[in-house]
A and B are shown apart, each in its own frame.
Chain A
Amino acid sequence: DVKVTQSSRYLVKRTGEKVFLECVQDMDHENMFWYRQDPGLGLRLIYFSYDVKMKEKGDIPEGYSVSREKKERFSLILESASTNQTSMYLCASSLLPGQGSYEQYFGPGTRLTVT
């Protein structure tokens, strides 16, 4: 059974703190993604990676960075957390184009609250 895991289900951080969200997949997928989900805005892509050490900006990269040192692990970093980054963060992985469908497998999400 395919699996994407995220390091925390719930996280509370203070404004200005550096925050790390970790994601691990066990499907040997090349692609990994970070989204945030907000009411009325759906899922918005923050960053994605199609290979180790490779990254591409998504639609809303401001205030975020990412790291992919190993194929199975993709980290999202909030350099200085702000209250407008309070959200549900979802990690996903998928095969490369040509290897299958565009189906992405999602983790359970991390509910981050910045106070």
Chain B
Amino acid sequence: DQQVKQNSPSLSVQEGRISILNCDYTNSMFDYFLWYKKYPAEGPTFLISISSIKDKNEDGRFTVFLNKSAKHLSLHIVPSQPGDSAVYFCAAADSGGYQKVTFGIGTKLQVIP
């Protein structure tokens, strides 16, 4: 039973345009959300996070939006660059438990020059 779902296995975007990666969750106890980026043959690296007390968090070209009522979050990358081509993992945590994080299966983003 997947508690964090990334329904798009892949996404292609032209350089300079917006990339939107989506994530849905089912566990209402999740109150902290993260996005990680992973290049081939490397470990994931933290990108951006958001607490459930917020609905938006921005860091440079990256913005995460959280819609608690829909149990949905999205990552926007503007403008997209070829170096953004990677697998993006959505992750969620329940602050009431141990620091266990549940990951989605990932979305492979390709930014076309």
Contact = CB atoms under 8 A, between A and B. Distances in A.
Nearest to B102: A45
Nearest to A111: B41
Contacts of B44: 43, 90, 106
Interface string B1-31: 0000010010000000000000000000000
A42 B104 contact: yes
Contact of B98 (A48, A103, A108): A48
A31 B106 CA distance: 23
Interface string B90-104: 010101001111111
A109 B103 contact: no
A44 to B, nearest CB: 8
Interface string A41-54: 11111001010000
Contact of B43 (A31, A95, A108): A108
Interface in B30-60: 32, 34, 36, 41-46, 49
A99 B105 CA distance: 28
A48 B106 CA distance: 21
Nearest to B47: A103
Given A90-B44, A104-B46, A109-B42, A50 B99 contact: yes
Contact of A58 (B42, B49, B93, B100): B100
A42 B89 contact: yes
A84 interface: no
Contacts of B43: 4, 90, 92, 106-109
A107 B6 CA distance: 23
A94 B89 contact: no
Interface of B: 6, 9, 32, 34, 36, 41-46, 49, 89, 91, 93, 95, 98-106
28 contacts: A9-B41, A31-B99, A41-B105, A43-B103, A44-B103, A45-B100, A45-B101, A48-B100, A50-B99, A56-B98, A58-B100, A90-B44, A96-B99, A97-B98, A101-B34, A101-B49, A102-B32, A102-B34, A102-B91, A102-B101, A103-B34, A103-B46, A103-B49, A104-B101, A105-B46, A107-B43, A108-B41, A109-B41
